[in-house]
Structure 1
Amino acid sequence: MVPSIKDERARRDVSMLPLMITAIENDDDRQLAAELYARYRAVMLRRAGSILKEDDRAEEAVQEAMLRVIRHLEKVRMIPENERAYYLAAVTQTAALDLYRRRQREQQNTFTGYDESLDAPGPAEDGPMELLRREQAVLLRQCVALLPQRELDILNYRYLLELPHKEIARLMGLKPEHVRMLLTRAKRKLLLAYREKGGTDDE
């Protein structure tokens, strides 16, 4: 039987496994991690790339996401195979956002020079309303970072991955009505933190 192109690609991906996977001592864990990486790497790269916009940084986020997955392989085993892509995408998205925020902090901490272009008028779209929206977006991201991981995950599942309540419930081992309750609570906490930091509901 002639191997399919898909099989050949899978073998090639497995042959290029990161050291963190090949170094796993348990055979079953190593095999599962290798299968997840080979099967979902493309999905994870697309998700990271949509946030970071650079191939090398997207790859870095995928590596970090795989480290997190490896730490929770027992949890992954309990997720049905047809739902693992959602889980891997969510973990990758969180890793990419963490990387993005870390790079932003590093840039802010290392910036010591003066750029005269900062005093120059911005383009037409950088008017007062655009600047206000940017400030609100930064403030909102700061508030999101304060949420517990569980609430952050459930918001990511619902509003970034656009999963229905039933799918979120399966991924998190909850009942759909509990998911709705947690979503409401997370949104309420996020709005409260946003207002406490000076944010407004006005556009």
Structure 2
Amino acid sequence: MKYLIVGLGNIGAEYDSTRHNIGFDVADAFVIKHGGSFRVDRLAAVAECKWKGKTFVVIKPTTYMNLSGKAVKYWLDKEKIPVENMLVIVDDLALPIESIRVRASGTHAGHNGLRDIQAVLNSTAYPRLRFGVGNDFPKGRQVEFVLGRWQADEMPYVKDKVLKSIEIIESFATIGLERTMNTFNK
């Protein structure tokens, strides 16, 4: 059984450790835990990991956030992975810093990476892990906030949620989406 794990983010050092790149950070942590390493390939940095008889193809699109759908579609097709075996990891302004949610489907809610995936797949029905980044920013400063680095007092939440995200990916592949949502969406 194969799974596509998609960490959303932007390439380039200026985006490292920003709220918007939490998908890349979770992908990195998952691959490190499972002894893989990334290589640059078509439209993405790609790693393959095996765990409990499952194969995980983990991608970090190199297309920039707004064109993530192109990389997602390419790797789904290339690896012959059904969309229900894909999990997209994304930052979410609508969730507080303490929260994480797993969803089977949903709108893009203004997130450009999800908007592009939805447009390319012509569907909102794909699993996603929504990593709450909070919304503590002045009106009109959303872009600066998501492209900003984590504050020191946020780091304990971030580190805990990255570990929880790894558990969610493993659960998704072993017990399925529905049971994973029931377990982690508390």
- TM-based fold match above 0.5: no
TM-score normalised to structure 2 length: 0.25
Which has the larger Rg? 1
**Superposition TM-score, scaled by structure 1 size:** 0.23
More helix by share: 1
Report the structure, 1 or 2, having the larger strand content. 2
